């Protein structure tokens, strides 16, 4: 059981710890999925993990002093739910072998005792003044730095405006279909990775 | 004999409450929501009036309860396509749109979104914040399943490569789900009035003219600015903010042969403007807040007292007058507001840093098509019509179909929740009768 501190700070500390446990359980879930262990049963835990994650995100993004009591209750529920997921996933892990399950138990035990395996989630607000909210634009993070001259041609050919934030980030504005086409072409031309099929275009 | 299920269309607060109340009676519920997450407009709000309770703190636990309830089947990113009345209920067909993510594998970890190279305006933030092309609309979404936005995705395949649960499935196709239910509850909520139709206020032309829902996102701690109210033009904190009331409500001005406003009162705009005025005063110490109104309508318990507190304790200014014109000052992007103070009879012109349009509530988009599918009547404003305005406002279009919350007409959260519980009871009674 994780020790408690009082108040909003205590809740944030506790949710930070629970988030670490969540990550460890998530890794175990992913590994069991990859190994195709008890597939039907294990897959039913995707929903449980998602619901726990929603509550973690909720507490993280709402440091709301007037709702401390309510959040306190929810954190206790969350602790109980994670405990149940742990029990069930570990018993699925036992069907791989005992050492495998023991390895995961040790890992989860370590994070329960406070070892930070994953960076704490930060919900970084992103708001760009002047970036018109009601007009089409896409911001692209490029796989490699690019020179302005390289995209000038696309800009003219596809009728879009391309704005450089820095050599790795561009904003493409214009009609939706043209923006998507331009972004796709620029991505391919700056990437070694060929595009994949599947989605309708 | 197991009772037949209930189909609920719309996953806002009314749909959520109705789903929980029906499910608690041991009846199966199918909750259909067209967006990737349930929550509706209430999920976008910071605080609720008149108590200033945290909206997410009320809503999120209910959303999770829906996802966990053994009697509730949650069909998000899905739309009703066909309804056929049969002897003991309805045969329905629901289209489940592809998320391109396998929901039996996705745990909502968000690694995929971290690697996605695209950012686009987030609809949930009214376009003021950004999201990736693989996304959840907000951090506490339910279900927290990631969705690939087909319109923006460039198929780079990065999300597929980084997902350790191998949940990304670019070959996913739409799926049609067939159900038989005994009753249907319509809880499709509302859409807001398009502020561009009141061109004299400059919305869409002047960046510092925003709608009330945009302000809700700016003032929200989990919104795009982390709860800091900033001007869209330059990111500065506004010191003089005005609200214009009744934008698209109680307004029948015609443009040619076409009415651009709605004759009815939207019931919630006075209270949400007062609430946001108070919140602005709490957020920004030296801010000046003015509300331009026709009449102040404080509907609901505690509302009048809250209005009086806003005037006296928080010093929110109220000016009675319909704003005639808004002009942007090009150098500062500030806004000049021209009106007549009808209490003094004087014409006034005042400068503000930001202008908030209190837009009215309208029938939700797609309600006309839905009314055709369900064969339910629509009133003169486009809202589904109840059987009787005083004695049975829930039943619509004959036996077994009920309409609740703001789908019926403009309504606040407490009334929508009461409606939902009442309709849940109506649906349960209707199922019991079918059984007999």
pLDDT tens-digit readout, B323-364: 999 999 999 999 999 999 999 999 999 999 999 999 999 999
With beta carbons less than 8 A apart as the criterion, state whether A118 and A19 touch. yes
Q: Which of B61, B104, B232 sits opposite A129 (nearest CB)?
A: B232
Sequence-distant (≥ 6) Cβ neighbours of residue B39 within 8 angstroms: B11, B12, B16, B59, B63, B138, B141, B142
Question: Considering only CB atoms, which chain B residues are within 8 Å of A68?
Answer: none
B271: its two tokens? 């209270």
Whole-number pLDDT of residue B391: 82
CB contact under 8 Å between B224 and A126, yes or no, is yes
Query: Sign of dihedral through CA atoms B229, B235, B238, B241?
Result: negative
Higher pLDDT, B146 or B57: B146
Q: Which of A46, A129, A195 sits opposite B107 (nearest CB)?
A: A46
What ipTM is given for this predicted complex? 0.89
pLDDT score of B211 more than 90: yes
Other Cβ atoms within 10 Å of B154 Cβ, number: 24
Whole-number pLDDT of residue A123: 61
Q: How far apart are CA A71 and CA B375, in angstroms?
A: 43
Whole-number pLDDT of residue A1: 45
**How close A3 comes to chain B (CA, Å)?**
24
> Which of B66, B99, B108 to mutate against chain A (most A CBs within 10 Å)?
B108
Please write the tens of the pLDDT for every residue from B104-123. 999 999 999 999 999 999 99
Q: How far apart are CA A69 and CA A73, in angstroms?
A: 6
Each residue's pLDDT, cut to its tens digit, for chain A (201 residues) gives: 444 455 666 777 888 899 999 999 999 999 999 888 877 777 789 999 999 999 999 988 776 667 777 788 888 999 999 999 999 999 999 999 999 999 999 999 999 887 777 776 666 657 777 766 666 899 999 998 888 888 888 888 888 999 998 889 999 999 888 999 999 999 998 886 555 555 544
> Which of B100, B106, B107, B225 to mutate against chain A (most A CBs within 10 Å)?
B107
Sequence-distant (≥ 6) Cβ neighbours of residue B113 within 8 angstroms: B131, B132, B134, B135, B136, B146, B159
Residue with tokens 């607060």: B13
Closest chain B residue to the Cα of A24, Cα to Cα = B109
CA B327 to chain centre: 29
- Strand ranges of the sheet holding B346-352, from the earlier edge strand across to the other edge: B325-328, B335-341, B346-352
Q: Which of A33, A66, A74 sits opposite B105 (nearest CB)?
A: A33
Is the pTM higher than 0.90? The answer reads yes
> CB contacts < 8 Å between A and B, how many?
190
DSSP per-residue letters across chain A = -PPP--HHHHHHHHHHHHHHHHHHHHHHHHHHHHHT-SHHHHHHHHHHHHHHHHHHHHHHH---GGGHHHHHHHHHHHHHHHHHHHHHHHHHHTTT-HHHHHHHHHHHHHHHTT---SPPP-------TTS-TTS-EEEEE-SS---HHHHHHHHHHHT-EEEEEETTEEEEES-HHHHHHHHHHHHHHH-SSPPP--S--
Q: What residue spans define the domains of chain A?
A: 7-112, 137-190
Please write the tens of the pLDDT for every residue from A157-189. 888 999 998 889 999 999 888 999 999 999 998
Q: How far apart are CA A65 and CA B25, in angstroms?
A: 34
Percent of chain B with pLDDT over 70: 97
Question: In this complex, is the C-beta atom of B107 within 8 Å of any C-beta atom belonging to chain A?
Answer: yes
pLDDT score of B87 more than 50: yes
B227: its two tokens? 């709860």
Q: Between residues 197 and 216 of chain B, which touch chain A (CB distance below 8 Å)?
A: 204, 207, 214
Q: How far apart are CA B287 and CA B277, in angstroms?
A: 10
Helix or strand or coil: residue B125? helix
What domains appear along chain B, each with residue ranges and CATH number?
5-97+174-189+364-435 (3.50.50.60), 193-361 (3.50.50.60)
C-alpha distances (whole Å) from B173 to each of B99, B188, B215, B217, B350 are 9, 25, 37, 33, 55
B433: its two tokens? 């009768």
CB contact under 8 Å between A50 and B145, yes or no, is yes
C-alpha distances (whole Å) from B50 to each of A85, B55, B278, B303 are 40, 12, 10, 6
CB contact under 8 Å between B129 and A57, yes or no, is no
With beta carbons less than 8 A apart as the criterion, state whether B219 and B229 touch. yes
Strand partners, B5: B181
B410: its two tokens? 């403009």
Other Cβ atoms within 10 Å of B151 Cβ, number: 13
C-alpha distances (whole Å) from B294 to each of A127, B214, B312, B399, B410 are 34, 22, 20, 41, 18
Alpha helices in B259-336 (DSSP H): 269-283, 303-312
Characterize B232-254 residue by residue with b for buried, 16 or more Cβ atoms within 10 angstroms of its Cβ, and e for exposed. bbeeeebebbbbbbbbbbbbeee
Other Cβ atoms within 10 Å of B144 Cβ, number: 29
Q: Is B227 exposed, middle or buried (0-12, 13-18, 19+ CB in 10 A)?
A: middle
Question: Considering only CB atoms, which chain A residues are within 8 Å of B143?
Answer: 47, 50-51
With beta carbons less than 8 A apart as the criterion, state whether B117 and B200 touch. no
Question: In this complex, is the C-beta atom of B109 within 8 Å of any C-beta atom belonging to chain A?
Answer: yes
Q: How far apart are CA A42 and CA B105, in angstroms?
A: 9
* C-alpha triplet A59, B223, B126: angle, nearest 5°: 140
């Amino acid at each position: 059981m994780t020790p408690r501190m009082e108040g909003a700070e205590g809740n944030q500390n506790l949710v930070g710890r629970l988030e670490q446990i969540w990550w460890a359980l998530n890794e175990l879930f992913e590994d069991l999925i990859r190994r195709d262990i008890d597939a039907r049963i294990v897959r039913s835990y995707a929903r449980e993990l998602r619901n726990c994650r929603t509550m973690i995100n909720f507490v993280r993004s709402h440091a709301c002093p007037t709702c401390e009591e309510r959040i306190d209750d929810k954190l206790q529920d969350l602790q109980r739910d994670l405990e149940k997921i742990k029990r069930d996933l570990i018993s699925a892990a036992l069907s791989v072998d005992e050492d495998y399950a023991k390895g995961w138990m040790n890992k989860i035990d370590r994070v329960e005792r406070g070892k930070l395996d994953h960076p704490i989630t930060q919900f970084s607000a992103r708001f760009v003044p002047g970036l018109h909210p009601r007009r089409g634009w896409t911001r692209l993070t490029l796989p490699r730095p690019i020179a302005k001259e390289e995209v000038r041609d696309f800009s003219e050919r596809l009728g879009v405006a391309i704005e450089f934030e820095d050599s790795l980030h561009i904003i493409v504005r214009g009609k939706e279909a043209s923006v998507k086409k331009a972004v796709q072409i620029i991505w391919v031309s700056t990437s070694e990775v060929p595009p994949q099929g599947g989605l309708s275009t | 004999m197991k009772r037949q299920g209930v189909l609920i269309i719309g996953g806002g607060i009314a749909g959520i409450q109705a789903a929980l109340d029906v499910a608690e009676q041991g009846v199966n519920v199918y909750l259909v929501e067209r967006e990737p997450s349930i929550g509706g407009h209430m999920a976008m709000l910071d605080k609720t009036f008149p108590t200033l309770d945290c909206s997410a703190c009320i809503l999120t636990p209910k959303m999770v309860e829906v996802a966990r309830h053994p009697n509730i089947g949650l069909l998000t990113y899905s739309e009703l396509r066909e309804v056929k009345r049969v002897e003991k209920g309805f045969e329905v067909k629901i289209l489940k749109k592809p998320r391109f993510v396998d929901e039996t594998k996705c745990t909502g970890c968000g690694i995929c979104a971290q690697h996605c190279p695209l950012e686009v305006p987030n609809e949930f933030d009214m376009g003021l914040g950004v999201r990736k092309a693989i996304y959840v609309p907000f951090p506490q979404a339910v279900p927290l399943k990631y969705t690939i936005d087909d319109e923006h995705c460039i198929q780079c395949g990065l999300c597929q490569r980084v997902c350790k649960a191998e949940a990304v499935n670019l070959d996913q196709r739409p799926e049609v789900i067939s159900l038989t239910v005994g009753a249907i509850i319509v809880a499709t909520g509302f859409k807001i009035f398009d502020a561009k139709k009141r061109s004299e206020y400059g919305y869409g032309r002047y960046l510092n003219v925003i709608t009330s829902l945009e302000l809700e996102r700016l003032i929200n701690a989990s919104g795009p600015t982390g709860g800091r109210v900033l001007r869209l033009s330059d990111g500065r904190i506004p010191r003089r903010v005005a609200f214009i009331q009744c934008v698209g409500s109680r307004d029948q001005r015609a443009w040619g042969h076409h009415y651009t406003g709605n004759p009815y009162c939207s019931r919630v705009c006075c209270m949400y403007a007062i609430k946001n005025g108070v919140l602005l005063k709490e957020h920004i110490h030296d801010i000046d807040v003015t509300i331009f109104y026709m009449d102040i309508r404080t509907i609901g318990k505690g509302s009048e007292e809250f209005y009086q507190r806003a005037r006296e304790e928080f010093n929110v200014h109220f000016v009675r007058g319909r704003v005639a014109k808004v002009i942007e000052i090009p150098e500062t992007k500030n806004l000049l507001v021209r009106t007549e103070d009808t209490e003094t009879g004087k014409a006034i012109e005042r400068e503000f840093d930001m202008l908030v349009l209190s837009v009215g509530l309208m029938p939700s988009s797609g309600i006309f098509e839905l009314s055709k599918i369900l064969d339910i009547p629509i009133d003169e404003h486009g809202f589904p019509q109840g059987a009787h305005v005083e004695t049975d406002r829930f039943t619509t279009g004959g036996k077994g179909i009920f309409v609740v919350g703001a789908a019926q007409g403009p309504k606040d959260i407490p009334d929508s929740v009461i409606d939902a519980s009442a309709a849940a009871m109506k649906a349960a009674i209707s199922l019991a009768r079918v059984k007999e």
